[in-house]
Amino acid sequence: MKIDRPLILISNDDGVNAKGIQELIDSLRGIADLFVMAPDGPRSGKSCAMTSECPVRYSLVSKDDEVTVCQCTGTPVDCIKLALDIMPKRPDLVIGGINHGDNSSVNVHYSGTMGVVIEGCLKGIPSIGFSLCDHAADADFTPMLPYVKQIVAEVLSHGLPEGVCLNVNAPLASSFQGVRICRQAKGVWRNEWLECSHPRGGEYFWLTGNYHPLEPEAEDTDHWALENGYIAITPTQIDMTAYRMMDDLKHWNFSV
């Protein structure tokens, strides 16, 4: 570990062997020391879930002067909590990704990648999630990597306000129109279940669905940016208070 270089904690929800996290590691190697604690298999859609009903284990996968890689039996959030407990010093940055798939709009709530990022943010560390709108295991992250490095450099230089992290999504494209600063688009998932019959009787259901944008024309959203070839940066906060509702509620009748 080099004294004057930043230390970055990396995790994801596709598992330690996913192409996206490997390309992220290769891309940042040389500009920071990297500590990777990633799930030992897929944990897509795990949100900020943590493991309370069974214990969690981790093991060392590889280690050189610049990069330490561990795998963990837990969720993405477990990975960050555990890494922060065992790392030799506090990281300068937490990164989730690069995710195979879109984490814009309402997907921020379901995403294990953003679970990583929200956990880093809850611990007071600048945190960024990177996602590419391509679920394929062999997705091509190459066009996105220069932007990943530039966004990392900017966050290391400027920091981020307390309680704010970044949700960065790139469209599936060979080149981009540029970067747009966005708000979280409104949208809803529909037709979410595929019903199947078991050969010995009974039904089971696979979670699937179609994303339906509720404001497709709104040019300030992350969904619009992605649909129009831009990388979307959505600043995201851990304070979920609906401040605009507080005064109204004070006039409701809650006496019993």
Interface of this chain with its own copies, residues 30 to 49, rule: CB under 8 A: 42, 44-49
Closest CB to its own copies among residues 64, 253? 253
26 binds its own copies (CB under 8 A): no
Closest CB to its own copies among residues 2, 193? 193
Alpha-carbon distance 103 to 132, whole Å? 8
Alpha-carbon distance 192 to 210, whole Å? 7
Question: Residues 181-210 vs its own copies: string with x where CB under 8 A?
Answer: x-xx-x-xx--xx--x-----xxxxxx---
3 state DSSP class of 255:
coil
Closest CB to its own copies among residues 5, 186? 186
Dihedral sign for Cα atoms in the order 215, 221, 226, 228: positive
Closest residue by Cα to residue 70 from 37, 96, 102, 100: 37
Q: How far is the CB of 228 from its own copies (least distance, A)?
A: 16
At 207, give phi and psi (nearest 5°): -75, 125
> Near its own copies by CB under 8 A, which window of 31-39, 63-71, 88-96, 160-168?
160-168
Pairing of strands 33-39, 7-11: parallel
Alpha-carbon distance 45 to 143, whole Å? 25
Q: How far is the CB of 33 from its own copies (least distance, A)?
A: 23
Q: How far is the CB of 8 from its own copies (least distance, A)?
A: 18
Alpha-carbon distance 114 to 12, whole Å? 9
Alpha-carbon distance 178 to 223, whole Å? 15
Closest CB to its own copies among residues 64, 203? 203
Q: How many residues bind its own copies (CB under 8 A)?
A: 81
Q: Is the peptide bond before 98 cis (omega within 30 degrees of 0)?
A: yes
108 binds its own copies (CB under 8 A): yes
> Near its own copies by CB under 8 A, which window of 2-10, 88-96, 126-134, 243-251?
243-251
151 binds its own copies (CB under 8 A): yes
Binding-site member from 81, 95, 125, 152 for its own copies (CB under 8 A):
81
Inter-residue contact 195 to 202 (CB < 8 Å) = no
Q: How far is the CB of 65 from its own copies (least distance, A)?
A: 25
> Near its own copies by CB under 8 A, which window of 19-27, 71-79, 90-98, 125-133?
71-79
Q: How far is the CB of 29 from its own copies (least distance, A)?
A: 18
Alpha-carbon distance 108 to 220, whole Å? 17
| Residues facing residue 15 across a β-bridge | none
Binding-site member from 28, 32, 69, 77 for its own copies (CB under 8 A):
77
